Structure 1
Amino acid sequence: MADNSQSRSARRKQKKSKKKPIWKKVILTLLIIFAVTAIGAGAVGTYWIVTAPDIEASKLSDPFSSILYDQNKEEFAVLGSEKRKKVEFDDLPQVLVDAVTATEDARFFEHSGIDIRRIGGAIIANIKNGFGSEGASTITQQVVEKAFLSHEKELKIKVQEQWLALKLEQDYSKEQILEMYLNKIFYGNNAYGVAQAAENYFGKSDLDDLTLPEAAILAGLPQRPTAYNPFENPDLTKQRMNTVLSLMVRHDKITEEQAEEARAVEVTSLLTETKKDSTPYEGFIQQVQKEVKKKVDGADIFTDGLKIYTTLDTNVQERVEFLLTDSEENPIPYPDDEMQAAMSVIDTKTGAIKGIGGRRNSKGNDEFNYAINGSTQAGSTAKPIVAYGPAIEYDKMSTYHQINDDKPYEINGNPIRNWNRKYSGWITARQALVQSLNVPTIKVLEETGTEKAKEFANGLGYEFADDTVTLGDAIGGTGTEVTPLQLAGSYSAFGNEGIYNEPYSVTKVEFPDGRTVELKPEPEAAMSDYTAYMITDMLKDVVTEGSASAANVPGLPIAGKTGTTNLDDGGVPDYWFVGYTTNYTISSWVGGYQNEDGGRGSIPESGRTVPQELFSNTLSEISKDKETADFNKPDSVVEAKVEKGSNPAAKPSEHTPSSQIVTELFVKGTEPTSTSEKYDELDPVTDLSAEYNEDSNSIEATWNYDSDEDITFDVSMSVDGGSMEELSSTDELSIEVSEVEPGGEYEIQVVANNGSMTSEPKTATVTVPDSDNEDEEENNEENEDEAEGNIPPVNGLSAQYDGARSIIDVSWNYNGPPAAFEVTVNGEQTQTVQSNGIEISNTAPGQSYTISVTPIGQNGNNQGVRGEAQSTEVTVPEEENNESENEGQGDGDQGSESTGDNENEDGQNE
């Protein structure tokens, strides 16, 4: 037994001793994985190399022209077919060769097509920052990439690019490759190749005449030819030139002294005065270029031989360009030559860009495009996007929603005021938006919350500075900036039942090899249909009743919003108008002024309606022979009548005056259900009777009334058919009228009153018996009636304005023979009444009224006899929510240069 046990133990030790250490297993496993990976990678790499395109000499000579097609697939531009001038290597001065190689490929004449050192640096950068963050392409690689490969940042493309670069270096000399490179690149300013660029920018047809700063500018341009265009952006060009000069010093191409001498040269002093030919539809083409560059990685519309299908409507584009170009036929009243302007026209339903005007008096030469690049504050055009839209969407706010516009609103100690320095008290959301009032707008955003506002606005392509929303964003007065094209996209969703389409100019791009890339964005639901319709309905009032009357086009249902920005000194550097129909959305902007210090300057007051007139003159033309439907009210929206001033909203009662009833929009299910009692009548008195008491020679009137309220009774009396005169108010159910005249007919009237409502009047009549001298008194009265000239004037004439009812209440007393009363208002309007009072409606805020009352005899010899006229005067107070607005005062925006005490306003009557 012992031997067996020992034997088993020995076997276990022997087995254990045969096990390999764990680290050896790990190393073996890693080696296997590496080997498999290497084999796999080699196989994949080999496949990529085998499938790489062949080097074709024809593709190495010149870039391919790209063709642009309009919305009808008709060609409207060929890019790259003109302004091309070939140069040979022997024509290249050494200073240009040095500038280009120092900037693009310092070891160009040393490597074999790929630069291992640059690749190592790029690998480290890509590991740290992600694939594609830094390139290592040599000039040779750039040549083959532009000639033979697509521009995606994929590993396959990079492998093929390096393989083809090695092959190219075997077939061609360094001089030939550099020659290809410099003849291929697009330099902006309609120039393809370095020779044409030198002629376009500096007027030099012989490259040997190039100076060091000129060579540095040409070497730096290909990186960003539009941004570094020295005609448009000399300051940016200077920065890029200095970078190239520094690289030349670093690589021992020039000395620091030479670089300093070159840096002292002003870029503008180098430029030729000869202008290049213009490109048709330049503003639109710039958007095409921007879009393709963003969505098709690395593609170049000027050199890649693309077929680009666009959304351009040439009729729209030509109309826009006409209105932005000075001529005797142009109807736009530009105040001066300094004003810049821009427009974007898109299809409301699809977001397709139909036309872009990038600037006023464009030369078509790759100039700065204000429509797509000119970011500035949105001013009050932000209000529907940041405040009112979110409030309707998330809180189901009605257009009647009451907001207390009571005083300036403080943000971080800075008072935000309304443009007119007036405050209306409780006001509807509709009134606040139509009048572009700042204080109510900020309160609306505060009620809804900035996070909801951010979510809503982001869904409309409206991005905030630092990705943060503040209360100041409600009135467009923060660091958030927008372009005309961006605003057009945001507003189009309001006109498209809440569906947002990112504005786009390109539907698809077709490459020379037949590969097609679709670029049309997908529509997205940005808001509920009730939000879109209710905002639109309010913005229609802006055009018909508010600040944007100059934008109105008769016969077309238009919604829109004006906007301004402000400077610290109160000046206005930007005016906006964004409007839309069911077919088109148009955003128009003017500005571009500079002050003496080179900062933003103020627009003349006479230029404030120019954006509106650009809109109306564009829309009226492009809408001809095209049906424009009105905006469709969805089932989710309810129209409801509301009694003015009710808070919360209440339905009017049967006694509410028509002047006190408005129709507003509510999200279905939120419309008012309770009825206002403000104008309801009380129940009248019952059992009213009047009897003559001979003992006391008085009339005693009694009545009944059943109510738990505190009721008083207004008692009036008339004698012999004369006017009703108030006797007294009492809380008793009876009254005694003493010292009545024998033979007189007395009518007693009683009206119940609770302080806010009254009842209909009830009357009772009693005749006092004649006395013994009845005949004598009758004769005296008859003689009195027959005497002429005894019609006395009225007395106690008064006129008071009743703000709750929007009327002037006129009353008077009269003691004399029966008479009617002629009432004259301001010497023009005349009316004859039988009562001792009249109500005057249809009054105007701020208007003074002179009211004259003349009694006219009715009986006997007094028939037609006129008494002396009595007059009084009353002035209707200014409405605190006066809709008259002077745009020059600002329209709800904070200043462009600060977030302090600046206000905006919008339009001529906002």
Structure 2
Amino acid sequence: MANNSQSRTARRKQKKAKKKPLWKKILLSIVIIFIVMGLGAGATAAYWIATAPDLDESKLSDPLASEFLDKDGKAFAVLGEKNRTKISYDDLPQVLIDAVTATEDARFFEHSGIDLRRIGGAIIANIKNGFGSEGASTITQQVVEKSFLSAEKKISLKVQEQWLALQLERDYSKEEIMEMYLNKIFYGSNAYGVAAAAETYFGKEDLNDLTLPEAAILAGLPQRPTAYNPFKNPELTKERMDTVLTLMVRHGKISEKEAEEARNVDIPSLLVEKKPETTPYEGFLQQVEKEVKEKVNGADIYTDGLKIHTTIDQSAQKHVESLLTDSDANPISYPDDEMQAAMTVLDTKTGAIRAIGGRRNSEGKKELNYAIQNTTQAGSTFKPIISYGPAIEYNKISTYHQINDDKPYPIPGTNKTIRNWNRQYAGWMTARHALNQSLNVPAVKVLEEVGYDKAKEFAEGLGIKFADNKILIGDAIGGTKTEVTPLQLAGAFRAFGNEGLYNEPYSVTKVEFPDGKTVELTPKAKPAMSDYTAYMMTDMMKTVVTEGTGKTANIPGLPVAGKTGTTSLPEREGSPDAWFSGYTTNYTISAWVGGYQDEEGKREPIPDGNTQIPLEMFKSTMTELSKDIETKDFVKPDSVVEAEVEKGSNPPAKPSAHTPADKIITELFVKGTEPKETSEVFDQLDPVSGLTASFNEDSNSIDVSWNYDSDADVSFEISAQIDGGAMQALSTTEDTSMKISQVEPNAKYTIQVVAVSNEDDGSKSEPKTTTVSTGEDEPDELPGVVGLTATYNDANAIIDVSWNYNGPPASFEVSVNGQSQTVESNGLEVSGAKPGETYTISVTPIGKEGENEGVRGPAQQTSVTVPAEQTEPPADDGEDGSGNGNGNGNGDGDNGSGNEDGNVDQDGSEGRPPEEEQEPEPDEGGEGNGNSETPPGEEG
């Protein structure tokens, strides 16, 4: 037993002795992991190195110029090939070499192409702040990157860069690499290489003439050549120069005293007076540069030798620039040199930018581009985007939608109101009329109807970005801190003309790299609204141009839609900005003018009478672009229905057979929402019955009486015809009897009675007639005709009149609206009847034989109304200069007492042109462009 026990104990000890400690297992595992990772990393690095490009000597010397192609593939600009002077290492002064190495690569002459100390520091920084936060590229690596690789921050590219840097150091001397670097770098102001930069900025052709401050400036420029441009930003240049001088002191290149003396130099005093040459189509190329920078990671249009396919239409670009350049040939008459202007032209179908005019009299030196960089309030050009578009999209309102423009609109929670630009309020009106007259109160009411969230969603789908990510009531009239550029506004309007499809406007379709790599940049369109919204808004904005505030932009024969807009200043008259955005099926154009400032930099209004200039810019450009091409009209989708509406009905109702033609308009409805009910306002009243007339010889008068069985509120029009003459109105009464005094003796009277509505003077009954004689000596009368009828035959466009006659032989005198003819038959056809007209027809028998010859029988009468045949919607009353108000049945518009009386109220007071509008500055504390708080107010 004891031996067995010892044996088991020994075995346990032996087994325990063979078991390894835990820390050893962990250490072994870590070693294995690192070996595996190392093998994997090594294999990956080997693959990256194997796929690295070869050193191509032809690409080492100079930066590669980028070529720009227009929409047809024709080159129109090359950036990078001009203003370059090649130098050798022997041409470089020591002060420049010291400044460059201290700034870019202090151990350049010591390392073998890569600097392990810098790499270690960069690794620590990247671990702390993320990959790419700090670089460790030597001058040699920068030469490799700019010659053979892209500037993307990828580990694979960094490995290839280091590998190629080692190769470059093996094949070339340090002096040759420094020479390559200083010939290759872009220094801004269209200067490539240090020699060209020295001449461009300091006028020095010999680099040995460079001073320490100048060398420090040149050494610092390549990091941010545009920002540190001494012509434009001397303050930033001075800060960068100070950094370079500090580095030179740190690395023992200069003394602190020398650095301090250099810091005291006035930067502008070093510069030459001559500025760089201009770049062709500068406004457009600024957008190209912006897109390439944003969409192609690390690409540099000045040094990377790119082939950039753009969307520019050179003929459009030249025309736009001609409108922004003062010349005798320019049809636009600007009031002064201070006015700024900008415009963009887009392809309506694709969103491609065809032209950009960034400012007036551009010098092509990267000045402020008002078309793509300067934002300002949009004024009433926002009404389709914020109010009416969302209302059609989500609420499916019609173009007839009724809005009560009754009074200034109080802003909830404030003591401010929103007013119409013309200070007039015309009651109930259509959405179409409210938009084409650019009235503010209806616009904000429609925004309230549709809701802020829906309106914001709709506008953001068109590229609008709201200030503080918040929509306010003042956005309905473009009067808050939310602002746009002409490019953004054109992009939004383009979607209305493109069946509701939107994509961000773009100037570049693709970019080709020297190594054959191609990056496609054409954006894909997405639906921003329904096709019914796009079409109905377009149709409404057509009337803005034909009969509303945009008449100046109208081009006869061209289907154009668009919207005007102006802004206002607090406590001041006038508009600091004026807009017009419009489109056809081919092009969309947004034009803006403004830019006035006082001595304190505050915005100033545009001089009186000049807010129409954007409309003139639009008209000139659209006319030029459309002159030799077909411009199709906008096609109505199946989702939209044209429907006749009885004017003034609310909710909308179909006209009845008795609705007068001038009370019928045609409007657009989303399919399924068109009117179903028929108006009864103009229904024909029941005629009188039992009409009799008798002659009272004693009083020489005729007593007339009748019955009326209907409950309708009516009066009665009594007329009389004497011996077949014209029917003359005698009187109107609410009684059912009347005495006609002092009648003519021995005459035959035909008495007519018509019931007329007291509620609507357009509604009448058929006339009823009877005859009576006022003497005993007149010959026996023939009997009158019976069964007289008149019906309109729509197929043949004729009135068919027929009757019966039981009496001696007779012919028949037929009178149609007072014009008579004699026929032998018992009927006739009346041709040439006009739609909407009422025809009164009277038939009188006339004896033909014996004692009856020439004897006239009693006249019988009937009437018929030809149905209205509306082919196109008539203008709302008040838009045609006739003083008829809004014409929407509110009691004011139809009788001339409305406030929208065409050429009077449209153009405001004191003869201001009808298109001139004013809009609000921001509401609820929104200042917009630095103006003080003011309530939303006037725009058109």
Shorter-chain TM range is 0.7 to 0.9
Aligned partner of 1:597 in structure 2 is 600
Query: Relative to structure 1, is the Cα distance of residues 441 and 713 closer, same or farther in structure 2, using a 3 angstrom cutoff?
Result: closer
SS at match of 1:576: strand
SS at match of 1:537: helix
The separation in 1 between residues aligned to 2:70 and 2:77, in whole angstroms, is: 9
SS at match of 2:668: strand
Query: Relative to structure 1, is the Cα distance of residues 711 and 154 closer, same or farther in structure 2, using a 3 angstrom cutoff?
Result: same
Query: Relative to structure 1, is the Cα distance of residues 712 and 624 closer, same or farther in structure 2, using a 3 angstrom cutoff?
Result: closer
The separation in 1 between residues aligned to 2:657 and 2:2, in whole angstroms, is: 117
Query: Relative to structure 1, is the Cα distance of residues 219 and 559 closer, same or farther in structure 2, using a 3 angstrom cutoff?
Result: farther
CA contact (8 A) 2:219 2:244 kept: no
CA contact (8 A) 1:465 1:480 kept: yes
Aligned partner of 2:888 in structure 1 is none
Displacement of 1:740 in angstroms is: 7.8
Aligned partner of 1:499 in structure 2 is 501
Aligned partner of 2:659 in structure 1 is 656
Amino acid at match of 2:246: V
Displacement of 1:419 in angstroms is: 1.8
CA contact (8 A) 2:282 2:366 kept: yes
Q: 1:588 aligns with which of 576, 586, 591?
A: 591
Give the 5 Å matches for 1:473-622.
Answer: 473-568=475-570, 569-622=572-625
CA contact (8 A) 1:358 1:370 kept: yes
Aligned partner of 1:466 in structure 2 is 468
CA contact (8 A) 2:553 2:618 kept: yes
Aligned partner of 2:278 in structure 1 is 278
Amino acid at match of 1:759: K
Q: 1:432 aligns with which of 431, 434, 438?
A: 434
Q: 1:890 aligns with which of 888, 909, 918?
A: 918
CA contact (8 A) 1:472 1:899 kept: no
The separation in 1 between residues aligned to 2:289 and 2:391, in whole angstroms, is: 38
Aligned partner of 2:838 in structure 1 is none
Query: Relative to structure 1, is the Cα distance of residues 225 and 659 closer, same or farther in structure 2, using a 3 angstrom cutoff?
Result: farther
Query: Relative to structure 1, is the Cα distance of residues 735 and 374 closer, same or farther in structure 2, using a 3 angstrom cutoff?
Result: same
Aligned partner of 2:374 in structure 1 is 374
SS at match of 1:373: coil
Query: Relative to structure 1, is the Cα distance of residues 565 and 141 closer, same or farther in structure 2, using a 3 angstrom cutoff?
Result: farther
2:393 corresponds to 1:393: yes
Displacement of 1:139 in angstroms is: 3.4
Displacement of 1:878 in angstroms is: 4.0
CA offsets 1:820-866 (integer angstroms, 9 cap, x no match)? xxxxxxxxxxxxxxxxxxxx999955599xxxxxxxxxxxxxxxxxx
Amino acid at match of 2:423: R
Displacement of 1:145 in angstroms is: 0.7
Report % sequence identity. 62
Displacement of 1:62 in angstroms is: 0.8
Aligned partner of 1:759 in structure 2 is 764
CA contact (8 A) 2:79 2:302 kept: yes
Amino acid at match of 1:241: K
Aligned partner of 2:304 in structure 1 is 304
CA contact (8 A) 1:98 1:248 kept: no
Query: Relative to structure 1, is the Cα distance of residues 257 and 358 closer, same or farther in structure 2, using a 3 angstrom cutoff?
Result: farther
The separation in 1 between residues aligned to 2:478 and 2:595, in whole angstroms, is: 18
CA contact (8 A) 1:437 1:891 kept: no
CA contact (8 A) 2:229 2:237 kept: no
CA offsets 1:682-704 (integer angstroms, 9 cap, x no match)? 22232233457899999765544
Query: Relative to structure 1, is the Cα distance of residues 301 and 729 closer, same or farther in structure 2, using a 3 angstrom cutoff?
Result: same
Aligned partner of 1:336 in structure 2 is 336
Amino acid at match of 2:343: M
CA contact (8 A) 2:216 2:244 kept: no
Amino acid at match of 1:648: P
Displacement of 1:465 in angstroms is: 2.8
| Normalised TM-score (structure 1) | 0.78
Displacement of 1:63 in angstroms is: 0.9
SS at match of 1:392: helix
Give the 5 Å matches for 1:311-330.
Answer: 311-330=311-330
SS at match of 1:335: coil
Aligned partner of 2:222 in structure 1 is 222
CA contact (8 A) 1:498 1:528 kept: yes
SS at match of 1:493: helix
Give the 5 Å matches for 1:719-798.
Answer: 724-726=729-731, 728-730=733-735, 734-735=736-737, 737=739, 747=751, 749=753, 751=755, 753=757, 755-756=759-760, 758-760=763-765, 762=767
Query: Relative to structure 1, is the Cα distance of residues 447 and 20 closer, same or farther in structure 2, using a 3 angstrom cutoff?
Result: farther
Displacement of 1:725 in angstroms is: 4.3
The separation in 1 between residues aligned to 2:517 and 2:558, in whole angstroms, is: 43
SS at match of 2:78: strand
Displacement of 1:158 in angstroms is: 1.3
Displacement of 1:114 in angstroms is: 4.0
Displacement of 1:157 in angstroms is: 0.4
Query: Relative to structure 1, is the Cα distance of residues 183 and 375 closer, same or farther in structure 2, using a 3 angstrom cutoff?
Result: farther
SS at match of 1:45: helix
| Normalised TM-score (structure 2) | 0.76
The separation in 2 between residues aligned to 1:443 and 1:431, in whole angstroms, is: 14
Structure 1 alignment gaps of length 5 or more: 772-839, 849-873
Amino acid at match of 2:552: A
Displacement of 1:768 in angstroms is: 8.9
Displacement of 1:627 in angstroms is: 1.3
Displacement of 1:96 in angstroms is: 4.9
2:643 corresponds to 1:640: yes
CA offsets 1:25-61 (integer angstroms, 9 cap, x no match)? 6665454333322220121112222332333443221
SS at match of 2:487: helix
The separation in 1 between residues aligned to 2:629 and 2:901, in whole angstroms, is: 42
Displacement of 1:111 in angstroms is: 5.6
Give the 5 Å matches for 1:76-91.
Answer: 76-89=76-89, 91=91
Query: Relative to structure 1, is the Cα distance of residues 14 and 300 closer, same or farther in structure 2, using a 3 angstrom cutoff?
Result: same
CA offsets 1:687-737 (integer angstroms, 9 cap, x no match)? 233457899999765544444x4635446576979954446435xxx4475
Aligned partner of 1:158 in structure 2 is 158
Displacement of 1:297 in angstroms is: 1.3
CA contact (8 A) 1:141 1:161 kept: yes
The separation in 2 between residues aligned to 1:317 and 1:406, in whole angstroms, is: 46
Give the 5 Å matches for 1:831-870.
Answer: 844-845=881-882
Query: Relative to structure 1, is the Cα distance of residues 58 and 699 closer, same or farther in structure 2, using a 3 angstrom cutoff?
Result: closer
SS at match of 1:517: strand
Aligned partner of 2:900 in structure 1 is 879
Give the 5 Å matches for 1:182-201.
Answer: 182-201=182-201
The separation in 1 between residues aligned to 2:126 and 2:622, in whole angstroms, is: 50
CA contact (8 A) 1:888 1:905 kept: no
The separation in 1 between residues aligned to 2:502 and 2:122, in whole angstroms, is: 40
Query: Relative to structure 1, is the Cα distance of residues 95 and 455 closer, same or farther in structure 2, using a 3 angstrom cutoff?
Result: farther
Displacement of 1:571 in angstroms is: 4.3
Query: Relative to structure 1, is the Cα distance of residues 683 and 70 closer, same or farther in structure 2, using a 3 angstrom cutoff?
Result: same
CA contact (8 A) 1:491 1:578 kept: yes
Displacement of 1:84 in angstroms is: 0.2
Amino acid at match of 1:637: V
Query: Relative to structure 1, is the Cα distance of residues 312 and 677 closer, same or farther in structure 2, using a 3 angstrom cutoff?
Result: same
Displacement of 1:622 in angstroms is: 2.4
The separation in 2 between residues aligned to 1:762 and 1:584, in whole angstroms, is: 58
Aligned partner of 2:238 in structure 1 is 241
SS at match of 2:346: strand
Displacement of 1:605 in angstroms is: 2.8
The separation in 1 between residues aligned to 2:266 and 2:706, in whole angstroms, is: 101
CA offsets 1:344-365 (integer angstroms, 9 cap, x no match)? 2222112222222232223334
Query: Relative to structure 1, is the Cα distance of residues 398 and 218 closer, same or farther in structure 2, using a 3 angstrom cutoff?
Result: farther
SS at match of 2:652: coil
Displacement of 1:578 in angstroms is: 1.9
The separation in 1 between residues aligned to 2:690 and 2:323, in whole angstroms, is: 78
SS at match of 2:371: helix
